[in-house]
Structure 1
Amino acid sequence: MRSWGKSVDTMSSSSRSSQKENVSASRFGPKLCGYCNEFLSNLDLNFDQLNICGWVHSMDYHDIHKSARSGCQLCIVLRHDNTDPEDEHWHKAALGAYYKGRASIMMFLKSTSTTCYSAMYGQLSETISYPGTSRRQRVLDELDSIGAYHDLNYTPPKSTESQTAWELCDAWIKNCIKNHSRCKILHSASWYPTRLLYIGHFPTGYLDRDLSSFNVQLHLTQDKPPKGGYMTLSHSWGFIAFEMLKLTSETYEYRIKNGFSYIELPKTFQDAVRLSRFLRSDYIWIDSLCIIQGSEDDWIHESKAMVDVYRHSKCNIAATAAQGPTEGCFYPRDPTIVSPLEISLRLGGEEENPIPKKYLIVSDHSWHRSIEEAPLNKRAWVFQERILAPRQIHCAKDQLFWECNQTTACETFPFIFESHIEYSKGAAPLALNITSLDLTLSEMRKLRFCETRHDPFPGNFISYPQESSYSTYSNISRFDRTLAHLEGATIDEKIERLRRNIFLDWNNIISRYSSLELTYKTDRLVAIFGVASRVQEALKDMDIYVAGLWRSQLPWMLLWQIRISDTPPSYDCGPSWSWASFNRDVYFYAIPQPHDRVLINVDEAHDGHTVAKQGAASSHRISYLKLRCLLYKIEPDIAANSGKQSRTRFTTPTNPRLGFRPKSLHTDCTETDDYWHQAYIILVIGQHEENRLWGLLVRLCEEEPDCYRRTGMCWIDTEAEPNITEHVRGATDKDKA
């Protein structure tokens, strides 16, 4: 029996290499090389020892390439799953396994010289969302509904540019429109953008082969209302945006009369037109051809309507893998890497399990790598488009993916793919947060018409339904968790819980959005304004949007945090108290808890940044908050900090007994020599359950008296700092500045 706790190497390199290249049919199902045969045999015989990592003997990574070229199906998957096979860290690696119960085995290739590894999962076929094997009711329901539109025995073709793959897209859309209850509730009355591209459609079941003489018409919807729905396209403008085909003021009259010839469209636009025609959509909206580029007036008008352009579309086509308009939407691929690898195992050997069980081997990060890390989804504007669209086809490098408010799918799992349930690891995927927000907004819109009174701006003491701070890592959407708690709840209770969900989802979405790229940094607020408009529409008069934050949630949302930056904030992008003032990833750690005590009063909140970008371009970007608060002048305590202290202690010159040492302190920018010369702290929230006082670090503005700018945030352990805790506990509005 082979040992699993350490590396074993009993063969010479020449004999091992010869074994690897010998690929043949195996008792495990697929064609395998000798090395993979030995590895799976060890899995069968030693499964009881796999509660810890077990390694098969070390190997040369290039041998995987040789075996893959020879047809070993497991080596083909291993080679593809590794993101950088040429990295020297992979020259020596080990193939290991980790047993996670009889339903799941994790296989991973690990570098023997570093901590780098690449993981795949072997899931018992009956537990995974695959036709003919799954026993999960939700999967069976989805398969039953989509079976009317597509044969469940789907075999991926050699290219995503094929009739077989496009017929799957057609089935996704038809099934969603007809059977998805959660997508139906988002449907609203017909609405059309100012301009659309008329493309007509091709007879059912055929691909366009030659469109060289085809003309795309620029259609004014007010002159002649369209019939039927329209598609939209999300694409990257790339590094040669100035060369890309555009609608301009100079060409506008010509394009209205003559349109655009198909052959002058860049490859990505051509592919989107062909797929839209195949899906029987007569119209498509493409930003650069439907908004007059270079016209500030048209941009202001059309940018306000962006939320409706994507929200009312039939489906959004995303050129996910393309870095520019010339790359197209579709790609050739090896079908072997798309279909799940089926392997039959007798864990424990033939005597214990005489009947082998089928496991499906898939990558645990295919969605994340193909979608979230793809070139298109690193762009901030596209993030908004993805959230607003009711359904989306992602054109990735290796396969097509589907996303709507009820399901996600891909060609590997062609009818339903829920990686967060299949693998239950890490943070909830972005798709889950998007779905949660969309469904919560829809439910809120229904409830807001009920006769109910609701205080939009709670006072100093509030009580929220409590939710674990680890809920981000749940594999069930926040909306679904909430529904389970709303049985028998009153209208007020439902609204309050849904309202809380909206803000938690907003924080998660902004955390993701803040990491994305913008060509013009001053678009930081405008590129998310469409999503904010949807939230505002649902909340109606319950709340007010102010510079990326929500008025009722300011005590918590003001306490955002970024990694310290050498780059100063840009007050053209956002006020100092908004995350938008920094081009950095942002996080929200102060989550509302039951019985929080709010220590600030927001008397006025003026947002001049969002208004400036959405309307009068010449207006000054001035945003401010008028607060009544507990304000303390602070200075580093030189005597207390002269020793080796891990954290700075501060004194308050006006009241020396209130000195304190923050448990955690984060400055937004690298400190300058005079950083603490005009430093103050505003205590914002007291959280009894967490034993915390949250505060903002601010300093006086040099330009305007009695005005302050944010410079950081901190929290104080109330048990470790009793003096300032007692002072805050006894403070009243009369003590506020």
Structure 2
Amino acid sequence: MRNRVHSMIHGSVNTIMSLRANDDAEALKTRSQKCDLCRLLYKPYVDYCPTRPARFKLWRIGGVLKFDQYGTSANLSLVAGKEVAGLPDYLPIGLPNIPVSKSDLQVNLLRQWLTDCDKTHKCRTGKSGFMPTRVIEISGNIKAPKLRLRCWNNETKGSYVALSHQWGDPEKQRRLRTLSSNYKEHLDDIPFDGPKGLPGTFRDAVEITLRLGISYLWIDSLCIIQENDDDWMTESKRMEDVFSNAYFTIAASRAVGMDDGFLKSRPSRTCIPLKSSEGQYYICECIDDFHRDAEEAGLNKRGWVYQERALSTRSIFFTERQVYWECGYGVRCETLTWMKNSKASFLGDPNFPNAALEWNKSMRIRLYETIYKRYSKLALTRPSDRPAAIQGLESRLARTFHTNGKWGIFERFLYRSLLWRHVDGVYMQPIHDDPPGSTRKIPSWSWTAYIGEIDFIDAPLGETHWTEEVDSPFDSDQSAASTVTGRVLSATARRLMSRAGRFLQSSLMFDCAHHQDMYDNSKDSLQPEGLKCIVVGKRKGTSFPSRQDYYVILIIPGPGERRVYERVGVGIVDGRDVEMKEPGERVQIV
């Protein structure tokens, strides 16, 4: 005998639309051995019901079926065939099976997404006529494309596509780069086939670009002269323009490296047809999960890619399960599902981060803190790229906030942004190799000088009084001793007072493990010789000023000049543990 869920779903369409079935799990399991529909239902019961209740409820909410009425995960999809007329708004027309990779149907769907956005949205907000310094010019046909590197000039006009990809492990992935030694060759021809031809990911990007009728493609390793520090420095500063002005960005989410490719077959999707007098319906395995497939893919765990996505106005994500389109109006799936991405007002916003103009101060602070905390967790092949890989995004934020910004610090939020710290239990590591083309290292007061995940000290908004003991590093009259604008932080250093060799009520957080070992305040015999602090702010509202919490930056003498210090941490210091009666000493932190 069929169980109740089986009977209801095989009933009329009206029954399907009002489906809220309460049934026996053991009966469903038994039927799943012979019935395809019950097998399809039983799998998400196992996956999404960890407690395995003897009886369960199946809810239809919109176009999905769920085992949890209030859960965020869709377990099964309910879609209608295109011939069904008079559908309610909540039930979508969909594709039970996604198009074959590289098929005309798939390419036509991508073209339709682009056309719809061009005609009905206002996502393209870039500079009219902008072109990168170099692009790959594509001509010919897909069987024998002709490629060459083309330098920008007044005659270089048209739209270009940008590729966001992983370089991959050099020992496992073949890499193709433009170098000073082959630059002239690439101006004439970049081989598509053969041992010197394009690796898989680049070949797939060329195919998509050409089949969509676009003549130019931008790929970092080919359009920036690698191992040329001057060109790298120049072009890394243009990433904001490159991605924000692209016609769209290809996100090669499923490719682990240059040689991997992204136009590969995808896992098949299980669908059960349901016939009715109104037309064809389907109950399908739910594969629409943009967060899992795109946002949590390996590509989005790379540092450079974080700003590439935020700066792109429109992106097409080629993932393991299906292709997704993202613009300011949401996310579209190959299944024809449309979803309002919660991040559309954040990373997916084509005008990112203009929505912040309507936010209050607290929300703006949380915005940049969230961005920096997320970015600090991401991987970089070359750690010294840490400030450069977010420079375009940082510049965009600085303009939106009407302030100066560099190295993870904003002048408008100077005191708060200086109070970064490592996450609990995980110390940071200094980056020893300097960025290409630099003559001075990244300042120690910037978290971009270290490897590791960051957080920020919680100085409550409205309950913190900021001191005037720290000067902006962005002041135009800064000492000429600094050859890089904004590198030196001038401030008043104050002595920390320990009793019995330790601080009584202070919480000190050292950036690196070796500084923690050196100045560990749990050792009674240890005197923090040389350790001083800069008072950035203090907690309001305490009736005993000497016992106020002070928010401080910890510093030690740096090598060389007197009164030159380096940051080693931050802290929340009890008023009794910092000397505030004396005027302090003006120092520079580098």
Query: If the length of structure 2 is used for normalisation, what is the TM-score?
Result: 0.75
Q: Distance in 2 between matches of 1:68 and 1:696?
A: 66
Aligned to 2:16: none
Change (3 A) 1:42 1:309: closer
Displacement of 1:335 in angstroms is: 4.2
Displacement of 1:391 in angstroms is: 0.7
Aligned to 2:410: 550
Aligned to 1:249: 180
Identify which of 153, 156, 159 aligns with 2:100: 159
The answer to whether the 8 Å contact 2:353/2:397 transfers is: no
Structure 1: which 5+ residue stretches go unaligned? 1-18, 32-40, 47-55, 83-91, 109-117, 144-151, 203-207, 344-357, 421-428, 442-477, 484-496, 608-618, 639-648, 651-659
Displacement of 1:267 in angstroms is: 1.5
Displacement of 1:622 in angstroms is: 9.6
Displacement of 1:570 in angstroms is: 2.9
The answer to whether the 8 Å contact 1:194/1:220 transfers is: yes
Change (3 A) 1:706 1:600: same
Aligned to 2:566: 709
1:168 aligns with 2:109: yes
Q: Distance in 2 between matches of 1:176 and 1:591?
A: 43
Aligned AA (2:134): R
Q: Distance in 2 between matches of 1:65 and 1:547?
A: 58
Change (3 A) 1:363 1:29: same
The answer to whether the 8 Å contact 1:233/1:318 transfers is: yes
1:378 aligns with 2:291: no
Q: 3-state SS of the aligned residue for 2:148?
A: strand
Identify which of 130, 144, 160 aligns with 1:191: 130
Q: Distance in 2 between matches of 1:28 and 1:120?
A: 23
Aligned to 2:554: 697
- 1:364-398, CA deviations, whole angstroms, 9 ceiling, x for partnerless residues? 9x323211221211211122211211110011000
Displacement of 1:154 in angstroms is: 3.6
Change (3 A) 1:23 1:262: farther
Change (3 A) 1:120 1:689: farther
Q: Distance in 2 between matches of 1:68 and 1:197?
A: 53
Aligned to 1:632: 495
Aligned AA (1:220): C
Displacement of 1:274 in angstroms is: 1.4
The answer to whether the 8 Å contact 2:550/2:575 transfers is: no
The answer to whether the 8 Å contact 2:6/2:37 transfers is: no
1:418 aligns with 2:340: yes
Bigger shift: residues 293-302 or 589-598: 589-598
Q: Distance in 2 between matches of 1:518 and 1:272?
A: 23
The answer to whether the 8 Å contact 1:562/1:586 transfers is: yes
Change (3 A) 1:603 1:170: same
Identify which of 517, 521, 525 aligns with 1:672: 517
Aligned AA (2:553): L
The answer to whether the 8 Å contact 2:96/2:284 transfers is: no
Aligned to 1:74: 41
The answer to whether the 8 Å contact 2:510/2:568 transfers is: yes
1:433 aligns with 2:356: no
1:121 aligns with 2:44: no
Aligned AA (2:149): L
Aligned to 1:230: 160
- 1:518-563, CA deviations, whole angstroms, 9 ceiling, x for partnerless residues? 1111111011112122234445xx4222322112212101111213
Q: 3-state SS of the aligned residue for 2:430?
A: coil
Aligned AA (1:321): R
Aligned to 1:451: none
Aligned ranges 1:65-104 → 2 under 5 Å? 72-74=39-41, 95=52
The answer to whether the 8 Å contact 1:232/1:317 transfers is: yes
Q: Distance in 2 between matches of 1:537 and 1:342?
A: 53
Q: 3-state SS of the aligned residue for 2:470?
A: strand
> Over aligned residues, Cα RMSD in angstroms?
4.7
Q: Distance in 1 between matches of 2:35 and 2:316?
A: 30
Aligned to 1:461: none
Aligned ranges 1:556-705 → 2 under 5 Å? 556-563=416-423, 564-565=425-426, 568-570=429-431, 572=434, 574-590=442-458, 593-594=461-462, 596-605=464-473, 623-628=487-492, 631-635=494-498, 637-638=500-501, 650=503, 660-662=504-506, 664-670=507-513, 671-675=516-520, 676-688=528-540, 693-705=550-562
Change (3 A) 1:407 1:568: closer
Query: If the length of structure 1 is used for normalisation, what is the TM-score?
Result: 0.61
Change (3 A) 1:692 1:415: farther
Displacement of 1:415 in angstroms is: 5.0
Aligned AA (2:113): W
Q: Distance in 2 between matches of 1:524 and 1:134?
A: 50
Change (3 A) 1:372 1:521: same
Displacement of 1:697 in angstroms is: 2.8
Q: Distance in 1 between matches of 2:380 and 2:186?
A: 29
More helix by share: 1
Q: Distance in 2 between matches of 1:583 and 1:157?
A: 41
Q: Distance in 2 between matches of 1:25 and 1:100?
A: 8
Aligned AA (1:229): S
Q: Distance in 2 between matches of 1:78 and 1:156?
A: 22
The answer to whether the 8 Å contact 1:311/1:388 transfers is: yes
Structure 2: which 5+ residue stretches go unaligned? 12-18, 80-84, 275-281, 435-440, 476-482, 521-527, 543-547
Change (3 A) 1:335 1:243: closer
Identify which of 516, 525, 528 aligns with 2:378: 516
Displacement of 1:25 in angstroms is: 10
Q: Distance in 2 between matches of 1:669 and 1:406?
A: 43
Aligned AA (2:41): L
Q: Percent identity?
A: 25
